[in-house]
Chains A and B, each alone.
Chain A
Amino acid sequence: MGHSFPVHRILKTVGLTLTLASCWGGSSWVQDGLNRAIAAEISPVPVAASLVTQANRPPSDRNRQGDQNAQITPTPILTLGQRGEAVERLQQQLQIQGYDLDTVDGIFGPATLTAVEAFQEDQNLDVDGIVGAKTWQQLVPGQPLSLPSTTALFGQAVVWIPTSFGQQPLLLPGQDTNPPSALWLLLMPAVPLLGGGYFYLKQRVRELIKARSQSVTPNPKVPESNDAKSVPWISYFPLAGLLVASVVSFGVYVTVRTSLIGPSVEQLGRAADLKQSELTTWFDRQTNAVLDTAVDPALLPDLKILLQQAGSSDVQATAYSAISQYVAELQTKAPGQQDIALLTNGGIVVFSADDRRVGQYQPLQNTTTYFTADQVDRVEPNLYVSPLTNELLITLATPVVDETGQRIGVLAVDLNLTDLDERIRQPINLSEGDRNYLGDTGETYLVGRSSLIKSEFVSKRQDIDVQFQTGVSSRGIDNAINRQEGEGLYLNYAKTPVIGVYRWVGDQNLALLAEINQAEVFNPARQLAKAIFFGGVAFTGLGSLLLWGIRRRAQNRLPIPQLNPETNNRGLSESLKQSDR
């Protein structure tokens, strides 16, 4: 026995350490680590770590399933000067809550700013006029729950959603959970193994000491353990119970987790369809607007004056002023256009909404997306960084022609990528009052190739610019940029494990991605596994107590042996034999 493999002892010690690890506060990191390893398509291997499936986060009242009054999910950070549907919703909420706002026009102007500041003051928030996460939380109480399909699949399994996975559907980079470090990934499987090893060594040392003392006082007929020999299964019951609970909960976790992937991918695919359609519509609108402007009879005479440098300087100044007024009105109507410039045939700027550009050069093609009226269906926008402003841009350009059809110049329009970014990232609410279709952490976004060596978010947000100066990369992004479409589990640009659907939208020369954090999707699996595990632990505990009681009663019936060390063991053994009979 001394030289054979002590499997039962290892099982016992591993089982004990599993329990310890399960109850340990860092177990959610084990879960994240597992997700991360699977996302990276590597097996985490250590079994003991894989067995630990329970999240140790307390449920949040705000996120309980019973809170069915969740409203439309808040949207991105809003500041003075921004426009769009998100601002409209902000204004609606402010009006509902009684703040002084006359109109809901989707423009974050001074009146909206005043209302926001008043609201922040009333709510004891920092009065900065910026509608960020805290302001949204106060403004729109309640958050949507998990994905409808996952909830339907597992009924009451969804109990709560970890608060750390965000109150906003627009997941700002780095705003999600902190990723576990590589050290944790190594430590987690090591904990049960080291624990098991410790208990095993401790047991061996005891045996050695015992054997040595027996060699000093030889008594070859002394049995190892009267309890174990008489009712061995009783002492192994707690171990077996814990092991079964761990294995079953883990098995359930993996099975349920796997079954959650398909529905999520379907939902992400539908979201990508919607956003791709929106992307196409947005670009169509912009290209047509550029064409319409270039041939607008109200504008053309002034364009000609500037391009052909016709008339006196006063005439040219009047023309410039008229174009400025036209462009200002146009920008109010068409938020998709950021700047409008008039170029000579040599690409020199003779008019721009930004006066500083006058006299500078804008390529008519290559970085600029040049098209004529007959090519409007084949416009593939080109993303680039201006060497003059270091801004990420898409510039559409079309010729301005005279009566004879000759090109006399080019109208170039810088598109408002912030507007596009907001629209693509806008949470999908299928009907009024509905929760975000993609849950709390779902996001849809665009990535484009801005240079030979760099892919960037199609966005002008400065926080993104700062965080991803060297560009963005993930398996989804890289595949999409390489003209592939597909889906999978991978680490996103912020190294967060996600389920993602990615596409190359060739017509727009951009990659479109729809992703959701694995932690959110797999939460039902984690909750179910947690329930099973703790149920198993409770059952094992009760059973062990019961068995302990039975054994105790059995022992109480036996005569108490004399406390003579030489005869003690023998007496107990004989007593047990009598008891067995």
Chain B
Amino acid sequence: MRRNLLPLALPVLVSFSGLTACNQLSAGGDPTTGADSALEIWWSEGYYPEETEAIRQAVDDWSAENNIEANLVFYSEKDLIQQSQSAIEAGNPPDVLYGYSIAFDVIPLLAWQGKLADVSDVIEPIQDLYTPEALESVNYQNNQAGNRSFYAVPLSQQTTHIHYWKPLLADAGVDDSSIPMVWDNFWQVWTQAQAGVRQKTGNDSIYAVGLPMSVAATDTTYLFEQFLEAYDVELLDSNGQLRLDDPGVREGIIRALADYTNFYRSGYVPENAIDWGDPDNNVTFLSRLTLMTANATMSIPGSQRQDEVTYKEQMATVLWPNKPSGEPMRYVTSTKQVVVLEDSDQPEQAKDLIRYLTQPDVLASYIEGAQGRFFPVMPDLLERPFWTDESDPHVLVASQQFELTRPLYTVLNPAYSQVQANNVWGKAVHDIVTQNLPPEEAADTAIADIKRIFAEWN
């Protein structure tokens, strides 16, 4: 009887042979990086040429001094994250990698996976130059090697800042000499000024607040972390363990989500903020289409340094208000760090470049060349005139902010970098404003996502 089944089996075999033939077509590797002997350096492109030129100059100087060819490639942050992940997955990464958001999205994960070179030999000779927080931020657990060590080198740090336009506020008839520090009153200054500004300027495209509401902007995540801090939400304990089962934590998340998204739902945030990328709140604010904005770096005043009127007279930087509890705001900081990839075929040259970049004078030139966008992590650098200029209205405020800080949760547990990479908070915010999801539901979804991510890591 079995022989009678052959006619039925034949087409199956034929079709499988066809499918096999189809599957012979396959993807090739990355065509753009190859066995080039030059040191491959991927760097986050600055927001203005001075920033990019500063690092280009430093790399060129090192290259000339050591007679080593270096290929410095700049990517905008959105491309850098995606391109570096693709290259690492393909086993063909650059030798050196730097980006401002990969510090909290990608680097802790790479260190955990054993994909970063141990750079203790770079840091140890100069570790006394750094703040303890900066060193703590680059001391990562390597799950492959089963050890904890330095897998990145600190360059600078960032936190969140608030800027506003004095002329626009004056248009609304608001005196900015006494902006209240009480949480609700502080935000009401801007929301209540919106109508006045529009009336005075005749421009209905001007909005009060420039908070991003998108998944595409890492700023959404970062700024919402600051809102969580405002509501005293402690997602992790000091041992890096989740505290999400604490009802007070859930309640705090809901309040922070409701508060953050209410600006948009009440019409105080530009409508396309749901699609913004990281530069877009800068662009909208600097085009004077938002009265105030919060931003995750000092890039906004940094971009206007060359226009003294704008920089010193029209634009202002202000401290965040006190927390709703009345306590002073503690600023969430992230250390910007450069890494050497474990798969680099020139790790010593890569480390040598980083040694060069972290010489105080060279590092100072780079950070100051970036026009104060990021803040130093070497206390000695803060003594330089750039940071002590009392006539600089923006740096002075930023300096005060860095006196009361706490690091992002990635320092306590690298699993939290996956929370950042998955845009958990960005999705929650986006879903509330685009789908009218109740903050309670968005909070529960986010909590479930975070628990799942942590469970996968443990």
B8 sits at the interface (CB 8 A): yes
Question: Which residues on the A side are within 8 Å of B25 (C-beta)?
Answer: 261, 265, 486-489
The contact string, 1 if C-beta is below 8 Å from chain B, for chain A 321-364, is: 00000000000000000000000111110000000000111111
**Complex-state Cα separation, A211 to B279, whole angstroms:** 84
Cα distance, A47 to B16, chains bound together (Å): 11
- Whether a CB of chain A sits under 8 angstroms from the CB of B133 is no
Give Cα distance in the complex from A487 to B24, angstroms.
10
User: Which chain B residues numbered 1 to 36 have a C-beta less than 8 Å away from chain A?
Assistant: 1, 4-5, 7-8, 10-12, 14-19, 21-23, 25-32
Tell whether B288 is near chain A: CB-to-CB under 8 Å.
yes
The answer to whether B304 has its CB under 8 Å from any CB of chain A is yes
- Whole-angstrom distance between the Cβ of A397 and the nearest chain B Cβ: 9
Q: Judging by beta carbons under 8 Å apart, are A47 and B307 in contact?
A: no
Chain B residues 268 to 303 lying within 8 A of chain A, measured CB to CB, are 270, 272, 275-277, 279-280, 282-284, 286-289, 303
Select A483's contact among B18, B47, B86, B289, beta carbons within 8 Å: B86
> Size range of the interface on A?
35 or more
Q: Are A7 and B272 in contact (CB under 8 A)?
A: no
Query: In whole angstroms, how far apart are the Cα atoms of A479 and B22 in the complex?
Result: 17
Q: B391 within 8 Å of A by Cβ?
A: no
The contact string, 1 if C-beta is below 8 Å from chain A, for chain B 319-343, is 0000000000000000000000000
Residue total for B at the interface (Cβ-Cβ under 8 A): 71
**Bound: A47/B276 CA distance, A:** 51
- Chain A residues 475-493 with CB under 8 Å of chain B are 479, 481-489
Q: How many A-B residue pairs have CB under 8 A?
A: 197
Q: Give the distance in Å from the alpha carbon of A347 to the alpha carbon of B83 in the complex.
A: 27
Given contacts A251-B11, A346-B306, A483-B90, contact A8 B19 (CB under 8 A): no
Contacts of B282 on A, CB cut-off 8 Å?
A: 361, 363
Q: Which of A499-516 contact B (CB under 8 A)?
A: 503-504, 506, 509
Please give, as numbers and ranges, the residues of chain A lying within 8 Å of B12 by CB-CB distance: 47, 50
- Is there contact, CB below 8 Å, between B49 and A364? yes
A11 on the interface (CB 8 Å rule)?
yes
Q: What separation, in Å, do the CA atoms of A346 and B283 have in the docked complex?
A: 12
In the docked arrangement, what's the CA distance between A188 and B345, Å? Answer: 55
Contact of B48 among A8, A14, A347, A481 (CB under 8 A): A347
In the complex, the answer to whether A484 meets B30 with C-beta atoms within 8 Å is yes
Q: Is the CB of B4 within 8 A of A11?
A: yes
Given the interface pairs A243-B7, A382-B76, A451-B277, the reply to whether A365 lies near B30 with Cβ below 8 Å is no
Interface string of B252-280 (1 = CB under 8 A from A): 00000000000000000010100111011
Does B172 make an interface contact (CB < 8 A)? no
Q: Which of A385-393, A427-435, A572-580 contacts B (4 or more CB under 8 A)?
A: A385-393
Q: A38-B22, A361-B286 are known contacts. Are A484 and B45 too (CB-CB below 8 A)?
A: no
Residues A239-267 near B (CB distance < 8 A) = 243, 246-247, 250-251, 254-255, 257-258, 261, 265
- Asked whether A488 lies within 8 Å of B27 as measured between CB atoms, the reply is yes
Are A452 and B216 interface neighbours, CB within 8 A?
A: yes
CB-CB under 8 A from A345, the residues of chain B are 306-307
Q: Is A384 an interface residue (CB 8 A)?
A: yes
Question: How far, in whole Å, are A387 and B286 apart by their CA atoms in the complex?
Answer: 12
Interface-centre pick from A344, A363, A506 (highest chain B CB count, 10 A): A363
In the bound complex, residues from chain B placing their C-beta under 8 Å from that of A386 are: 283
Complex alpha-carbon distance, A386 and B272, angstroms: 10
Chain A 432-460 residues near chain B, CB threshold 8 A: 449, 451-454
Contact residues, A83-107 vs B (CB, 8 A): none
Q: Are B11 and A247 in contact (CB under 8 A)?
A: yes
Bound-complex Cα distance A108 to B51 (A): 44
CB of A399 within 8 Å of the partner chain = yes
A449-B11 in contact (CB<8A): no
B81 at the interface (CB under 8 A from A): yes
Q: List 5 A-B contacts (CB under 8 A).
A: A50-B11, A361-B283, A363-B48, A387-B284, A482-B86
Given A258-B17, A347-B48, 7 new contacts (CB under 8 A): A43-B15, A359-B288, A387-B283, A449-B79, A482-B89, A484-B90, A488-B26
